[in-house]
């Protein structure tokens, strides 16, 4: 944010977007350190939006629920890093997701970022856009 804003301030426009996590909105999705760091990103987003608004710069955050990718396998023990583990994790996420019949993908997250970066969101600043299918509103693990 600091370095991006240095370029944007003289231009009197810009959009800074951070990626966070659904853990930024509710507790229980990770350890206290992880969850605290996600809440900090959201707080920083809101405060920097307040500071940079006078320069025409928008600052927002995108917080997705779990995106099941091969990267998830890094959290499994080496002997468990198999497609079956990924399928099992996918099923676990599906059971706990609020929005049924659709799985969150990286493209969904990218589309949220594109929206916030676009002129369609020209008056959106200081927001934490949850891309979680309503999970943070209705679910608890």
> Is 0.85 surpassed by the pTM of this model?
yes
Residue ranges per structural domain of the chain: 9-67+104-132
Q: What is the pLDDT of residue 89?
A: 80
Q: Which of 15, 18, 38, 125 is catalytic?
A: 38
Instruction: Extract the runs of DSSP E, i.e. beta strands, from the chain.
Output: 14-19, 57-64, 128-131
Average pLDDT, the chain: 91
Let me know if 34 is a catalytic residue. Answer: yes
Half-sphere exposure of 85 (CA within 13 A, CB side): 14
Q: Which tens digits make up the pLDDT trace of 64-119?
A: 998 888 777 777 777 777 777 778 888 888 888 888 999 999 999 999 999 999 99
Any residues with CB less than 8 A from the CB of 19 and at least 6 apart, and which? 61, 62, 63, 64, 109, 113
Q: Which of 34, 82, 92, 118 is catalytic?
A: 34
Q: Which of 21, 24, 63, 125 is catalytic?
A: 21
Q: Which tens digits make up the pLDDT trace of 9-66?
A: 999 999 999 999 999 998 888 899 999 999 999 999 999 999 999 999 999 999 999 8
| Fold entry, domain 9-67+104-132 | Rossmann fold (3.40.50)
Beta bridge partners of 130: 63
- When pLDDT is cut at 50, 70 and 90, the band that residue 140 belongs to is low
């Amino acid at each position: 944010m600091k370095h991006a804003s240095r370029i944007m301030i003289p231009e009197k426009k810009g959009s800074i977007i951070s990626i966070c996590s659904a853990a930024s909105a509710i507790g229980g999705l990770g350890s206290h350190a992880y969850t605290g760091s996600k809440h900090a990103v959201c707080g920083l987003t809101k405060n920097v939006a307040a500071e940079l608004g006078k320069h025409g710069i928008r600052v927002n955050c995108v917080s997705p629920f779990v995106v099941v990718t091969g990267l998830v396998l890094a959290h499994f023990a080496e002997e468990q890093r198999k497609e079956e583990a990924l399928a099992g994790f996918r099923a676990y996420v599906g059971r706990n997701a609020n929005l049924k019949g659709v799985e969150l993908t990286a493209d969904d997250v990218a589309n949220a970022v594109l929206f916030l970066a676009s002129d369609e969101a020209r008056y959106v600043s200081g927001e934490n856009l949850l891309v979680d299918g309503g999970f943070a509103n209705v679910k608890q693990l």
